[in-house]
Structure 1
């Protein structure tokens, strides 16, 4: 077991990050299409951030340096993109948790479904709603171990941000030596 762990590299971590993002997106679609839980605007923003994190990890996977070569700028850019996407996810999940913690009288009004907004609103208005959220974002429709979905996605995004930061530091230190 120890030799297996020692044989793992950042390269394997990039692939694991990509696969975990694919799993999270699969779970999101399961919640939507099998359990019929309608995603709110902040949920959709978290999905987008998850997609971007996955793309960043996949780009890092394919940009890895070959044996003995220093890290490329492409790898560093992929990791920076991954970090920025994870931080967007942290913000969106935290904002949704804040909305869920508001007293009922302070929760913003509920808006139309995301599909309806996607079809009718201009992109700038849709982005504004996605960033601010609405009353639908304050509803808690699913929990696991007493925690709502944005709490769990916040943990995932914090993990992704930590992994991207660790990888950035590690590939930068390798280059310095």
Structure 2
């Protein structure tokens, strides 16, 4: 099977959606490890990025259900794209807060701005409550802070989504 054929049909196979789901669940597990094992308190921007990863996982679940059905496949692709791009934008904003020349002029919310009909921070505070400060850099790897790594991760999710989406419109050669 050629690479073009593989990319063209990837959104119609459960294995692709399973890999996407597992990658998102792995990231959520790592976030909870940082929070509970390492004692790093998530800020509101971290919580929003966590929600974007949950959005990718939810989209992957939709795609996993019945990937050959166009409604499921396109709903999953849309959810993946929206979540990846939203996460990327939030991560970029988070880095801007952390690297601001004057931290007194950069602020972030204290309480998550969830819809009133879905106050996740009240329902599951252990995952969705923000207890940290957006400007703090409590962890880094290879000179990059956590939100900088999230930019890389969300950019990869967005790039892969873009390629898969592009190839959905490509017809396979007979």
TM-score scaled by length of structure 2: 0.75
Which 5+ residue runs of structure 2 have no aligned equivalent? 121-129
- Structure 2 vs 1, CA of residues 170 and 61 (structure 1 numbering), >3 Å: closer, same or farther? farther
- Structure 2 vs 1, CA of residues 109 and 169 (structure 1 numbering), >3 Å: closer, same or farther? closer
Equivalent residue, structure 1, for 2:40: 37
Question: Relative to total residues, which structure has the larger helix share, 1 or 2?
Answer: 1
| Count of equivalent residues | 155
- Structure 2 vs 1, CA of residues 78 and 105 (structure 1 numbering), >3 Å: closer, same or farther? closer
- Structure 2 vs 1, CA of residues 103 and 163 (structure 1 numbering), >3 Å: closer, same or farther? same
Equivalent residue, structure 2, for 1:85: 83
1:4-23 pair list within 5 angstroms: 10=10, 11=13, 12-23=15-26
- Structure 2 vs 1, CA of residues 151 and 110 (structure 1 numbering), >3 Å: closer, same or farther? closer
Deviation at 1:80, TM superposition (A): 1.0
Q: Which has the larger radius of gyration?
A: 1
Equivalent residue, structure 1, for 2:154: 157
- Structure 2 vs 1, CA of residues 150 and 164 (structure 1 numbering), >3 Å: closer, same or farther? same
Equivalent residue, structure 2, for 1:25: 28
For the residue of structure 2 that corresponds to 1:173, the secondary structure is coil
For the residue of structure 1 that corresponds to 2:106, the secondary structure is coil
Post-superposition Cα deviations, 1:95-130, rounded to whole Å, max 9, x if no partner, equal 000001112443435775xxxx46xx9849x89xxx
- Deviating above 6 A after TM superposition, structure 1's stretches of 4 or more consecutive aligned residues are 6-9
- Structure 2 vs 1, CA of residues 36 and 96 (structure 1 numbering), >3 Å: closer, same or farther? same
User: Is 1:106 paired with 2:109?
Assistant: no
Post-superposition Cα deviations, 1:19-78, rounded to whole Å, max 9, x if no partner, equal 01000000000011111110000000000000001111221222322xxxxx61320121
TM-score scaled by length of structure 1: 0.74
Distance of 2:103 and 2:85 partners within structure 1: 30
Q: What is the alpha-carbon root mean square deviation over aligned residues?
A: 3.3
Distance of 1:162 and 1:146 partners within structure 2: 23
Which 5+ residue runs of structure 1 have no aligned equivalent? 66-70, 128-132
User: Is 1:54 paired with 2:57?
Assistant: yes
